Each structure stands twice: as structure tokens, then as C-alpha cells.
């Protein structure tokens, strides 16, 4: 599969429309993201989102089923999310596919009040972590270990500071403290939230849901804020999350190191997505900022 899936054919739209009870027509493509393809379809004045994903390996969780299940679970806990409408269980598309309700709002990466923005992100994440993991389907939401969820050693070593970073990550394993696991979004960052008038209205992209240490989500989102150049907002985000959730995040340092490994071997792969969402940066600027944050972590200041 190419980076984006092909435009749905008229035959596919007709068959999908039959399942949804609507006459569908193609509207436009949502650009950005690394996990797959999102197309907006219209049925008269109504809109829905057809989302298709890279095919998983045979042993991996089907991302369409995972997102469908995660959205169903999140909605029962009052989390503002799109409604899951249909999941492809008949092979209509060669990719894994799901249809979601269309939500108004847009990504906000340049807030007028970064601290209030960070507070809203933290409060929403605390709500997600309040989902009862016992209610989650273990076949859709696997339990993650401390060595899951980041790039391989070979990928990390390609960075100039990768060998030292990997060594520190492995050394930090010895100091991990057992924590109660929660349901984690696993890709929680501002680009997966929707906003209207500087108010967070929805959290999207739930195909990676897992059961893990809550510090995984916190560290990943905080790192993204730093990569966007908002260090104060990142600190505020962590503080508000701890206050609202009551969690100490004993292993936050470890998960910060793991988050730094996540975009390896080259953070430039994230740049097209950032730019599509309105954050202007170059591949070289992204690499420089990422390297600066790795250097700080290696010094033990974060």
C-alpha cells in the first residue's frame, strides 16, 4: 500500500452506502498522519469519515477493530470521541477500514493561551486514564511492557546520540517502580485532538489503545509539546495531569526516554504531518530540536 490509499471507487461507495443506509459520494481527503488514510464522505448534508490503515502483520491487532472497540469503550465513559458507525468485516477494502462520525473542529497547535490549552489536554488525558481497563477487550487492547511502544535498538543507534540514549533507557529499567496499569491512548498528542474556539471538543485516532503505565501517555504528549517549542506548557501539562488524576507518575523519566526513541531513526518523518496541521518547521529544525531534547535527557535535567 502506498502512503495513502486510493480514492474509494464508485462501487465501493455504493456497497458501503448500502451498509450505512445512505447514498454516499466522495468529498475530500484529510492530509496528515502516519497511520493510514482518512477520507470525508457525504450523504446529502451529513458527513462521515472513512479511515483505512496499513495492513498489520498477522500477529498484530487489527487497527480498524481496535479503533471501533476503543471508541465504543471511550463513549461509555463520557470521553468526547467520534461515533464508530461501521467496520469492514467483509473485505470491501483491501486495507483495514472503519467509518466514523464526522466531528466539527480542528487541530490547534498555536493556542492563544498555551497554559490553558495544556490544562485542557491534561484533564482530557486524565479522563481517558479513568477508563476501567477490566472493561477492555484484551484481544484488542494488549498489555504493554516497558520495552514496548518505541523504536528498535537498531533504529535508535542510527542517531548520533542513539547509543548513549539506548544505554540510559536500558539502565533506567532497573529503577522502574510497579504501577497500576490503565487504559492508554498510546498516541495522545495535540494533533489527535479537535478544538473549537480554543476549547477541546474531541480526542481522535484511537487505533493504538493498550493497557500500560499511565506515564507512557503523559511522557509522549509532554515530549510533543517540547518538540513544538512549548516547554512551559509541557511542564504545566504534567503538573495539571498529576493534580487532576492524583497519580505520582513514578516512572515518568523512563517513559520520557522511551518517547525520545519513538520517532527514530529520523524525526523528519513527523514533519509532513506537523506541516499539514499548521506547524511550520523543516526536517533540519525538527532534527535539531529532537537532538537538543535527547542531550538534555542524557544530562539528567528532564
Quick check: bond before 240 cis, omega within 30?
Answer: no
Every domain of the chain and the residues it spans: 10-101, 114-298
State the burial class of residue 32 (Cβ atoms within 10 Å of its Cβ: 0-12, 13-18, 19+). Answer: middle
Homologous superfamily, domain 10-101 = Phosphorylase Kinase; domain 1 (3.30.200.20)
Domains 10-101 and 114-298 share a fold: no
**CB–CB of 165/156 below 8 Å?**
yes
The CATH homologous superfamily to which domain 114-298 belongs is Aminoglycoside phosphotransferase (APH), C-terminal lobe (3.90.1200.10)
Distances (CA, A) of 301 to 117, 119, 253, 297: 25, 23, 10, 6
Helix locations, 173-261, DSSP H: 215-227, 231-245, 252-261
pLDDT at 111: 97
- pLDDT tens for the chain, 302 residues long, are 347 899 999 999 999 999 999 999 999 999 876 678 999 999 988 999 999 998 666 667 889 999 999 999 999 999 999 999 999 999 999 999 999 999 999 999 999 999 999 999 999 999 999 998 888 888 889 898 887 666 789 999 999 999 999 999 999 998 999 999 999 999 999 999 999 999 999 999 999 999 999 999 999 999 999 999 999 999 999 999 999 999 999 999 999 999 999 999 999 999 988 998 999 999 999 999 999 999 999 997 44
The pLDDT, as a whole number, for residue 59 is: 60
Unique residue bearing C-alpha cell 479537535: 194
| pTM, 2 dp | 0.93
What is the pLDDT at residue 36? 84
**What is the reported pLDDT for 1?**
39
Amino acid at each position: 500500500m502506498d502512503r495513502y490509499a486510493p480514492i474509494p471507487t464508485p462501487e465501493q461507495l455504493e456497497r458501503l452506502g448500502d451498509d450505512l443506509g445512505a447514498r454516499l459520494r466522495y468529498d475530500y481527503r484529510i492530509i496528515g498522519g502516519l497511520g493510514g488514510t482518512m477520507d470525508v464522505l457525504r450523504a446529502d448534508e451529513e458527513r462521515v469519515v472513512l479511515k483505512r490503515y496499513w495492513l498489520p502483520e498477522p500477529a498484530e491487532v487489527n487497527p480498524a477493530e481496535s479503533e471501533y472497540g476503543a471508541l465504543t469503550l471511550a463513549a461509555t465513559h463520557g470521553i468526547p470521541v467520534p461515533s464508530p458507525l461501521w467496520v469492514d468485516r467483509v473485505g470491501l477494502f483491501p486495507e483495514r477500514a472503519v467509518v466514523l462520525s464526522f466531528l466539527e473542529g480542528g487541530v490547534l497547535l498555536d493556542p492563544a493561551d498555551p497554559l490553558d490549552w495544556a490544562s485542557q489536554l491534561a484533564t482530557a488525558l486524565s479522563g481517558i486514564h479513568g477508563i476501567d481497563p477490566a472493561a477492555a477487550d484484551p484481544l484488542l487492547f494488549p498489555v504493554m511492557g516497558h520495552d514496548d511502544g518505541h523504536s528498535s535498538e537498531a533504529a535508535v543507534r542510527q542517531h548520533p546520540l542513539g547509543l548513549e540514549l539506548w544505554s540510559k533507557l536500558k539502565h533506567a529499567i532497573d529503577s522502574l517502580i510497579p504501577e497500576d496499569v490503565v487504559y492508554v491512548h498510546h498516541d495522545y498528542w495535540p494533533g489527535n485532538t479537535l478544538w473549537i474556539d480554543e476549547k477541546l471538543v474531541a480526542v481522535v485516532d484511537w487505533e493504538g489503545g493498550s493497557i500500560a503505565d499511565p506515564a507512557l501517555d503523559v511522557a509522549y504528549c509532554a515530549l510533543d509539546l517540547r518538540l513544538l517549542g512549548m516547554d512551559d506548557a509541557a511542564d504545566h501539562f504534567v503538573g495539571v495531569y498529576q493534580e487532576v488524576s492524583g497519580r505520582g507518575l513514578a516512572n515518568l523519566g523512563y517513559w520520557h526516554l522511551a518517547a525520545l526513541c519513538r520517532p527514530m531513526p529520523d524525526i523528519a518523518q513527523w514533519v509532513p504531518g506537523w506541516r499539514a496541521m499548521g506547524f511550520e518547521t523543516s526536517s533540519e529544525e525538527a532534527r535539531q530540536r529532537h537532538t537538543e531534547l535527547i542531550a538534555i535527557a542524557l544530562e539528567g535535567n528532564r
